Structure 1
Amino acid sequence: MAVRDLLRRRIVALLLDRVSSIDEEELAIQLAALEEEKSLIDVTKESAQSIRAELLHVHLPALEDTGLIEWDREAKTVTTTDHPVLDDPKFRQIIETEATEWDGILANLANQRRRIALSVLKNREEPMARADLAGRIIQHEMDEEITPDLEAVADLCIALHHIHLPKLEKAGLITYDIETETATYEGYSELDDEWLDFRLNETPRAILPSAHQSENIWSIEGRDNVIARGQSLFEQADDELFLMFTTDGLLEEGCIRRLNDAVDRDVDIYLGSQTPEVRDLVREHVPDAVIWEPQMDWLNLPPKYEKVGRLVYADRNAVMLATLGEEDGEGFHDETAITGAGENNALVILLRDLLGSRLDHLDAQSEDFRSQIPL
């Protein structure tokens, strides 16, 4: 979800920096100060009133519709909601970028086919023919091994010529030579390349700033980023979540909330942990989850290596495996993770083979049966 208006991005950024709601008038003054590059004390009453009118009639209703803000019209206050995108570091980067061309960039990134076109062109050193680009886009949308339908390629060629390529060129992301019918990637200084490194339905919801793609497997650095990726898998699950946690302190409030949301979507949740505190926490707050105590501590690597902390396996189609590093003064571990998605993803296949048919029996009701699961 991209907020494609500078003033709206500033609204969300201001709200994210607060721990409580903000009065409409105070919000208008702060926005006017940013708009005019003045101190708060120098903002005129007229400027604040003008911004406030724009807020009431245009921007706050639009942001409220997206689910990003909560607007109390009676109290005349505004605050952020618990929308999961607000916890995404990449979203924060989007709203804090103030380049004049940014709205045009975001408008193009919001279009799936233009994202794919940019991803394909970015990896080409030479200009690419429009027909070849159309074929590559359709292959991305389908299966890499399937030969694109000629009629579909022809239709997309027309759309590229009249719609997509001109819009991308106008945004400064490519150059399009009408005479030779070729396109060349130009890029943009504020646009991270990893935003475009994806395959449809196989990319993490948010490619975090710390992630680096390699053979469709991403590495993630930092506890907050690991938490964000894990929670995004909770949100994406449609049928099943298989979880293992080796120590307490890894299931944050946001995790519990998302697990309950998954239960409401009829997602089956299976959680294993050798730590009683973890099992008790989930048993209390997510009573519908199937809980067991693993009998083999296979997640604990030899002492000279880091210890595995989290395993999240969603719909047998996406996985994240995180390790625990050194503990800070507040009792939190530094974390790193690897993650992959897609039925044919190497990491997903590996975990599927490791767990095998055991997953098919996790819904057994016998406590004794679950205690014998050799994991």
Structure 2
Amino acid sequence: MNNKVLQIDYLKNKKASAILIAMLITALLLIAGLSLNSLIIKEMRIGRTIFNGLKSYYAAEAAVEDALYRINNHIPGYEVEDLADDDGIVQSNKTGSKLDYNYEIYARDIEIPCGFQEISDEIRKAGGKKWQVLNVQESFRIPLYSYDKDKGVENFNIFKVSFYMPGRGENAVLVKAGEIPGINDVLRWQVSGMHPTEYITQSMGEYVPLLTNSVTNPTQFGTDVDSYDPRYSRGKYKNELNDFKYDGYFAIADFINPNNGNSGHTLNYLVLTNVVEQEFNPYNKGADNRIYFRIEGGTASDPKATCNVVKASAKGIFSDSQQDIDIFVDLNNFLPAFDFALYRTVETEIEGGVPLNDRRFQPKLPRFE
């Protein structure tokens, strides 16, 4: 009898142990399942984040393409603020998430280099201001007009160009007042525009020597009253079509004024070229012949300058993800033929202090070494 009781108790204890083990295994499996489920959810979230990020990035790229299209199909100086895609918010049929983009275009400022341009090899900072660097035989071009969304086309008629050569020092002035410019010219400016009635391109220009040379007192020229110098702010005006020429001086301000009758022009461009002569002038050999220059407009109420670089800030949005892309478009990559400096300075014969031949520049094919 006692043996049967002991056997029954043993079986009961054995069944209880099996239940406990089963419950323990079930709990472990449940914990493992929950952990695995948590990992799966996290992976799904990561995948969704990547998916949303890719969609928002593609939306930002679409904004960039739209901005480039508008820049290419509008006149220089075209700007937009927070422009969304033409279709508004794109609704996805599958997910119901919102896909959108917008962008801004910056193309004008009160000075050049423009405020949004960063310091680089081509833009240096000196005296608390930004300066554009112009290497030897390099050209720089900007339009003297721009587009304003409220006023339409505006002419940049009030400006001054300041330049100096930091590699030469403040005492390295090459030409003094009264001397005839020649081999010591360092900067060539040219203004080209369209005749308002004949619809032909005409130009004027001049070669400018280094008169003063410091960041606080640079050489200046232009239409601004403070920098106006009749010796170097004017140039000869020539109509190539009719072989017609003014022998006297002609003011830049008169040339670029579209309301100045037959003498005015529209859609004007300013081209600056570093013409430092290194072959015939021993002083220039081995020297730092880079020119630092700035272009400044008039007052805050006057038309702004058109930047040579356009900035587009694009933003792509999908669900809770956002991607930002900034691009810079250099307008100087597309220079017309008359902007190139395919010439060199030749020695001028002097007799009694007067040049016998004032054609100091002759055509020269570029040489590749």
Who wins on radius of gyration, i.e. which is larger?
Answer: 2
TM above 0.5, yes or no, is no
What's the TM-score once normalised by structure 1's chain length? 0.24
TM-score for both structures, normalised by structure 2:
0.24
Higher helix share: 1
Higher relative contact order structure (alpha carbons within 8 Å, sequence separation ≥ 6): 2
